Amino acid sequence: GSEMCIRDREKMFAGYPDVVNVDQLREMLGGIGYKAAYGLLHDGSIRFFKIGKAFRIPKINIIKYLQRNSEI
């Protein structure tokens, strides 16, 4: 299939800030559950950082994850 370029993915998530929280991550990945979201973060699939106890995920890392793991 035709590869969706990173620019297209960025447009897809244009309504989201450059750095998102876990709830936004869940929405971006189609409404996945908390367990699945934290699983992706903890197993290194999607890189993140923490501010205090709060997880923060750079949007580009979610786009890169989708690039690696989808046929779209």
Mean pLDDT of 13-35: 97
**Please, which pLDDT band fits residue 1 given cuts at 50, 70 and 90?**
very low
pLDDT greater than 50 at residue 71? yes
The pTM of this model reads 0.84
Task: Encode burial over 51-70: b for 16+ CB neighbours within 10 A, e otherwise.
Answer: eeeebebbbebbbebbeeee
CA dist 26 and 37 (Å) reads 6
pLDDT digits (tens, 9 = 90+) for 27-67: 999 999 999 999 999 999 999 999 999 999 999 999 999 99
**Please, which pLDDT band fits residue 4 given cuts at 50, 70 and 90?**
low
CA dist 47 and 62 (Å) reads 8
